[in-house]
Every structure is written in C-alpha cells, then in structure tokens.
Structure 1
Amino acid sequence: MKTGNRTVRRFWGAQAASLSFSAACRKALQTFTTRNGCHSQGASASCRRRQASSLCSPETRRNPFWPVALLIVPIFYLASCAAPDTQHQIVVSTREQKLALIDRGNVVAIYPVSTSKFGLGDWRGSRYTPLGKMQIAQKIGDNASPGTVFKDRRRTGEIVAPDSPGRDPIVTRILWLRGLEAQNANALSRDIYIHGTPEERRIGTPASYGCIRMRSSDIIQLYDIVGTGAAVTIVNAPLAAAVPSLVSAHSMADTNAAPFVMR
C-alpha cells in the first residue's frame, strides 16, 4: 500500500482544500461502477466480478481514488446483496397484452403492455417473447427522467418524448429478466427486459422485438414497487386463468381488498 499511500498524499496535497473524504468516496464509486454499468441495487454476480476485476487493473491502480475505493467497496458489495423480493409477483398475459402486479397474493395493479410482434419462444438470436417462470435479475435506471434513452443498459444522455416519429429506443427504466426454466433459459443472454418505450400509441398490441414494453409512467411505478428477485411469469392465456385471485377492478374496489390500479 505504500505506492497507494504516496498517491493519496500527492492527491490530497493538491486538492485537499476542494475535495472532502465523502466526495472522494462518491467519486470512487462512480469511477469503479458506472463505467461497468453496475449499480448497488440488484447488481448481478457477473457485474460484481467485473467490478472486482476493474479494481485490480493497472489502469485503476494509477487512479488516485484507488486506495479510497479499496476501503469502501466491501461496503458496496454488502449493499448489493439485498434479500430477494418475495412479496411481489408479476404476471404477463401475451394473449391480453396486460401485466398484473401482485402484492402478497392480491392483484394491486393491471397495466397494458406490448410483447413481441414476432411471436413467442426463446430461441437464441430470435425476437420472440419467452414464456414461463422468470425473475427480475437486475434493475437499471434509478431516478432517470421519463424518456431517458438506454443503449446497452447505459444512459446515453438523450431524452425522447412519447411517440416521437421514427424513434423506438429503450427508455426510462429496465427490469432485466432471468429465465428459470428450460423454455426460457436464454432470456438473460437475449436481453429480455420489461422496459419503457416511446411508442406508447402501440401499447396494448404486440409490437416489441421480444421484450415487454410499458408506458414510461407505468414502468416507473412498477420499478419503484418491485425488487430484484421478484417472480415474473409470462403466459399465453388470459390473466384470470393465470391468476386465480384475480377479480374485477369494481369488485376489488367494493371490498377494499387492496388498492387497485387499472391503466
């Protein structure tokens, strides 16, 4: 650590007046996680391996923030290992183009969505929407403005308005799905997401390239409720057939069983 300490002394000698320790910590986290597309909320195992590799690279060791990062990254890793969300469940009906959010067995919201216009399946290189049981592997887009464009799960800095002519990027939020069955084993590697879309006029009809699209306002609401590890089931059947507890919005409102949102 002598080299690291000399680096720190040179660095603090030059900038001690303008940079606090907490600011250095924030800068270290930004340097070693943002460039890898990794975030503390829902960071995957592969993501954490990239972070560890990044910390040991010669390029990183030359960074004056490196000794600071070595002190705080273990805390960062602990924060990334939060317990999976077992309270919430998502069920998507490709037949009805709807998504139901379930909280402890109660359906609390139903949103219109858009699944693949090419059909259903999970073949490598295909543009189909996979069926079956999955889970949220990673959440991406904390605090992004509605319409924020993502490319390779990174913010580009651009914001696109709903229904902008000729524009169809991934926007606002991303819930990256991991398949749990043979019939959807390729979902993670195929980058199957629940995400926002600027093509909001097409929500409610099959229009995607394999993902489940939502309006920006809806994906923000869903993203803020569910956590990593939450169960996701995609079925080619009506929601009522897949969710036995599903009742009409009017019946639920009458019984006050749960706050219900029908978009």
Structure 2
Amino acid sequence: MEFERVIVSKKIVVDVAAQTLMLLDGSRLLGRYLVSTGLNGVGEQSGSGCTPRGLHRVRLGIGDGCPVGTVFRGRRPTGEIFDDALAAEYPGRDWILTRILWLTGCESGRNRGGPVDTLRRFIYIHGTPYWEPMGEPRSHGCIRMRDPDLIALFDQAPRGTPVEILG
C-alpha cells in the first residue's frame, strides 16, 4: 500500500482591525484569541509604536518551560514572577510576561531592513498582565495576549512559523 505524504503547515494570522489572532493548520482553525496590538495603529517605522503589517515569521521562541508570569527584560527572565505587589513597585512598566515569540519581517523594504525592520524593532507576541484589556489596541507595537492563550500558541508555533499581520 502506498501512502501519499501530506505536508501540513501552521500559520498565525493577526487581524488588527478585529484585534484577533488565529492559529491555522492549512484551512483548519486551531485557535482564535483576542489580542491587543499597537495603540498607535499599524505601521512599520522604527520608533512609531505601531504594529507592523505584512508577512513575518517566528524568529525565536523564548521562555519555554518558564513559570506563568515570568518577567522578561531584554528577552531574558529577570527572576521575578509577576504579581500585584511587583506591579505596584514598578507602575507604568511595559510588562513582557510568560513567553515571547520574536518576529522577523519577510518583506524587504516593508518590514525587513533599514528603519522598518521588525526584528530590530523588537516586535513580539508576548504575555501581559491580567488587567490589560484584550480586543483593543494598547501596546507599544507588539501583540499582547493572555498567558494561557499565549502558552497554547507558543507550544504550537515553533521557529519559522509564518505570521501574517493584516491591518
């Protein structure tokens, strides 16, 4: 008996207008999550605080095995676990929690290279405090998610996973 080899490809699609992230396996929906993208809207310029559009891929997944609420600075765990006391100690901090999917652009001149380079802008899909609203733009350009949703996504989106950001 001969078997046909089937290639299954997962892909992440972020819809900025709907403030949702979908994980797809071919045309099959594996997960749909509310997110929070850039408060300043969409755009690719460095320093804009906007969420970059277009085709990207996961460059690196950071935080595998770290406890929920792990605090990251400069893509490294600080040794802290997020809680209300830590939040009170550092008001206004842009919290990056639990896991990081670091994105890199795939379109030269649009989101790759020069002043529009997604990787150099440090654009991530990452966890955020429980009180941050989902479904409305509030980030500095990254894609924020609830910790349980992020862990589910992280475990299914290895390095190289395509990410399309629609805006």
What is the identity percentage for the equivalent residue pairs of Structure 1 and Structure 2? 45
The structure carrying a bigger strand percent of its residues is 2
Relative contact order, higher structure (CA 8 A, sep 6+): 2
Structure 1 counterpart of 2:55, one-letter code: K
The structure carrying a bigger helix percent of its residues is 1
Mapping for residues 81-120 of structure 1, pairs under 5 Å:
87-120=9-42
> Do the aligned residues in 2 keep the contact of 1:88 with 1:103 (CA within 8 Å)?
yes
Q: CA offsets, 1:71-107, max 9 Å, x none?
A: xxxxxxxxxxxxxxx7210000110100000013211
Q: State the superposition RMSD in angstroms.
A: 1.9
Gaps of 5+ in 2: 1-7
Structure 1 stretch 179-188 or stretch 197-206: which is displaced more? 197-206
Distance 1:131 1:183 in 2: 8
For 1:215, which of 142, 146, 162 is the aligned residue? Answer: 146
Matched, 1:168 2:94: yes
Distance 1:103 1:216 in 2: 22
Distance 1:171 1:226 in 2: 17
Q: CA offsets, 1:195-237, max 9 Å, x none?
A: 001154411110000000000111011001111101000002x
Gaps of 5+ in 1: 1-85, 237-263
For 1:183, which of 101, 110, 124 is the aligned residue? Answer: 110
Aligned length: 152
Mapping for residues 1-263 of structure 1, pairs under 5 Å:
87-161=9-83, 164-165=87-88, 166=91, 167-181=93-107, 182-185=109-112, 186-236=117-167
Larger CA Rg, structure 1 vs 2: 1
Distance 2:158 2:52 in 1: 21
Q: CA deviation at 1:175?
A: 0.3
- The structure-2 alpha-carbon separation of the partners of 1:210 and 1:218, relative to structure 1 and needing over 3 Å to count, comes to same
Distance 1:102 1:161 in 2: 32
> Do the aligned residues in 2 keep the contact of 1:168 with 1:198 (CA within 8 Å)?
no
Q: SS of the residue aligned with 2:141?
A: coil
Distance 2:106 2:54 in 1: 8
Distance 2:126 2:141 in 1: 11
> Do the aligned residues in 2 keep the contact of 1:136 with 1:227 (CA within 8 Å)?
yes
Q: TM-score, normalised by structure 2?
A: 0.85
> Do the aligned residues in 2 keep the contact of 1:114 with 1:213 (CA within 8 Å)?
yes
Structure 1 stretch 207-216 or stretch 165-174: which is displaced more? 165-174
